[in-house]
Amino acid sequence: MRSKRAGPARFADEESQPTHMKGTTGGPRLPLLRQLVGDRHGLGAAARSKRSAELKPRTAIADRVVDSICPYCAVGCGQKVYVKDEKVTQIEGDEASPISRGHLCPKGSASLQLVTSPSRETKVKYRRSYGTEWEELPLERAMDMIADRLIAVRGETWQHEDENGDVVNRTLGFAHLGGATLDNEENYLIKKFFSAMGAVQIENQARI
Ligand code: SF4
């Protein structure tokens, strides 16, 4: 007689299972019955189906793993990006990161969706003055437009001296506002470039 604490009955293969048990990893097909015959708390075999027993984590079937940094904020937590068939299939925390030691906050944990979401913007959107619709521009064209406007505004608004006659060599015609995802190197280059261009207001969203 089977003990109350014994595990569910096992069968050599699916063919030898009674009809009501087919498709399971062993024992009755109904989870409740599996629970009754040996997994009283439903935390072990009773909770498993044949399908769930055969599932493998996406991290185990990836073709390769790429080390990366979370793009959301300047904390810079380490990430491991799992790739299969040249598509990103999972993003996990990198336990080797001295910053985050394998952890990601809810935003970082959801960064797979940032990469794979069908609503992700991949093209430059431009709305011209008085326009009511967004237009798509090639990136090269958008970059040229920004550069042309920066140079033009700088020329139009350049101040060699202020109203007191003091040399200032500046422009108040444009400013730069950085975002929280910028890292040290990017901030260094932005500050250096815009200072050289004569901008005075160079800020970051974190201080607003
Ligand atoms: S995981 Fe969270 S805390 Fe870490 S970099 Fe990403 S957004 Fe910032």
pLDDT at 22: 46
Residue 130 lies in a domain: no
Whole-number Å distance, alpha carbon 109 to ligand 1 midpoint, is 8
- Which ligand 1 atom minimizes the distance to the CA of 73? 8
Q: Ligand 1 pocket check: which of 107, 111, 114, 183 to mutate, most ligand atoms within 8 Å of Cβ?
A: 107
Residue 18 lies in a domain: yes
Residue 125 lies in a domain: no
Q: Is there a single domain that holds both residue 151 and residue 185?
A: yes
Q: Is there a single domain that holds both residue 184 and residue 145?
A: yes
Q: Is there a single domain that holds both residue 146 and residue 199?
A: yes
pLDDT at 104: 96
Which structural domain, as residue segments, surrounds residue 75?
58-116
Contacts of 156-165 with C-beta under 8 Å, sequence gap 24+, read 158/198
Q: Ligand 1 pocket check: which of 75, 91, 103, 184 to mutate, most ligand atoms within 8 Å of Cβ?
A: 75
Residue 132 lies in a domain: no
- Does this model's pTM top 0.85? My answer is no
Q: Which of 94, 137, 95, 91 is nearest to 110 (CA)?
A: 91
Q: Which of 16, 48, 19, 14 is nearest to 31 (CA)?
A: 48
Q: What is the mean pLDDT of each run of 10 residues along the chain (208 residues)?
A: 41 45 60 85 83 87 94 89 95 96 95 90 94 96 97 98 96 92 86 96 82
Q: Is there a single domain that holds both residue 145 and residue 195?
A: yes
Q: Is there a single domain that holds both residue 46 and residue 89?
A: no
CB atoms < 10 A from the CB of 115, how many? Answer: 12
pLDDT at 27: 67
Residue 198 lies in a domain: yes
